[in-house]
Structures are given as C-alpha cells and as structure tokens.
Chains A and B, each alone.
Chain A
Amino acid sequence: MYWNNLSDFLAMGSHGPYVWGCFVVMAAAMILEPALLRRSRKRLLERLRRQYRAEALDGKAARESSGECP
C-alpha cells in the first residue's frame, strides 16, 4: 500500500479535487448507463405486454362476435 493514511489518500497531494472529480464522474456514468438501460427495458416490456394483451382481447372479441368455432 502506497498511502500512509486516509487523509493523504483523499488529498492526492493537492490534486484531490481533480482526481476524485474524474473518478466520481466516471463511476457515476458507468452506474447510470446500466440503470437507465434497465429502466428503459422495463418500460418497453410493460408497453409490449399491454399491446399483446390488447391484441389477445381484440382477437377474442372478434371471434365471439362472429360466432366462429374457436
């Protein structure tokens, strides 16, 4: 381990804000990207499920109204 104590580590020899500024933004990006993707996927799945359910009901209604044998 190169560092003697935590405060040295955080200070990064007076370059602390820059180094941690990079680290935080990069980490945030690599967490946000999958999170946003997961949310977008969830919304897509909900939308598709609603669409399929509606189509199934339409199909059922059409068959019942025309008196077809299923």
Chain B
Amino acid sequence: MSHRPFHWYRYASPQAFYPLAGRMIPWFWALAAIFGVAGLSVGFLIAPGDAQQGEGYRIIFLHVPASWMSMFLYLVMAFWAGLGLAFRFRLSSMMASALAPTGAMFAFLSLWTGALWGKPMWGAWWVWDARLTSELILLFLYLGFIALQAAIDDPRRADQAGAILALVGVVNIPIIYFSVKWWNTLHQGSSLNLARSSMATTMLYGMLLCALACWMYAIAISLMRARRIMLEREKDTLWVRKELGF
C-alpha cells in the first residue's frame, strides 16, 4: 500500500495523526466538561418545571442529546468507513471502528433514558413508539457492525466488510424509520408522542449545551480509541516502536 504522503493529506497516515490526536484530546475533554456543566446547570438548576410533565421532563436534557449523538455518530461512522473503502485510507477505517462502540453506547443510553421517561409519563417501561423502536434497531445496526468486525481476523477485510455494512445501514435507516412510523400510526395512533411541540428557550439552550457536551465527549473518546487501534494495528512498524521507547 502506498505511503506517499500527499502535501495536503499529511495527516492521513496513522503515524502523523497519532501525535496530533494526542494533543487534541485534552482540549475536547475540557470542552466537554465546560459544556456539560453549563448544560446540566441550565437543565437541572435553572430551567423551570413543565406545566404538563412536572419535573420528570428534565430527562430530555439527557435523552435527546443521547439520541442525536447515536444517530449523528452512525452517519459519521458510515462516512469514514466509506472513505476508507473508496480510497483505501487506513486511518479513515480506523476512525470508523473507533466510533462504533461510543455510538452503540449512546443508542443504549437513549433507550434507557427513554424508558425511564416513559414510565412516569405513560405508565409503561417500554412504549413502541416510532422513535424508540427505530433507536432500538439503530442499536442493533451498531452491534452488527461491531460483531462483524470482531469476527473477521484480517483487519483490511474487516474494514472493508464493515464499510459495506455501514453504508447499507445508512441507506436503510430512513426506510426503517419511515416504515416504523407507518406501523406505529396504524397500531397506536399518535397519542404517545415523546417529542415536544413547543419549548421554552431556556430548555432549548439546556438541550443544545448538553448535546454539545456529548459531541465533545464523543470526539475525545473516539480519538482515544482510534489511537489505541493505531497502536495495535501498526505494532510492527518503526514509528510505533519509537513511540514506546524502543
């Protein structure tokens, strides 16, 4: 595989990106902490209670960012995987593999917080509404990606197979969401609706700040995981040995 570093793609090689990522990670942790404190303060300390849902609505400050991140990370993962497949950028594929566990975690958290929100509001731990059901399928898509890559021993084949799966998944997600929505309106009507139609600005700010915090967190931890993947995969190269002091 060619190692010719192009002028612009200097950081496209793991060797160059590893130290760069290392320097960036602390900054993203700091940003995550700042946004997190700000968002949680707004959401839990400053924002008023809701007329219909009382204090329990505050779960949206956790549930909505988790949902957004789970969906956003899947798109980003598919993007990097696709780049890695099309141009054989090893680093892109490593980035995709690094994103998957975090995406799965956010999908799980979205389901957990969704369930704990549903119980006091609608009396059931699980409601088969369109968004939660689609979120569940998204979690399965993440787990499938992770399982497929874990089952294939050859890293290059794992990268490419995972990329195809991720791209097929991305194309399918709108289809799945639409069909689940259809199914939901057929069977239950739209009485169960976790989305909020109107929102006080304070609440909106709180949600956005928490979402930013999750985003910074996701970048920080994905970079950390990507660095670990780089060390593992490139362990026979000179730069990794030098990195470890040999």
Contact = CB atoms under 8 A, between A and B. Distances in A.
Given A15-B56, A21-B116, A22-B59, 6 more contacts: A22-B62, A34-B224, A41-B224, A41-B231, A44-B231, A45-B231
A26 to B, nearest CB: 5
A19 interface: yes
Interface of B: 44-49, 54-56, 58-59, 62-63, 66, 101-102, 105, 108-109, 112-113, 116-117, 119-120, 217, 220-221, 224-225, 227-228, 231-232, 235, 240-241, 244-246
Contacts of A1: 45-46
Interface of A: 1-3, 9, 12-15, 18-19, 21-23, 25-26, 29-30, 33-34, 37-38, 40-41, 44-45, 48-49, 51-53, 56
Q: Is the interface of B mostly helix, strand, loop or mixed?
A: helix
A45 B120 contact: no
B232 A22 contact: no
17 contacts: A2-B46, A12-B55, A13-B49, A14-B54, A15-B55, A18-B56, A19-B116, A25-B113, A29-B105, A33-B105, A34-B221, A34-B224, A48-B231, A49-B245, A51-B235, A52-B244, A56-B246
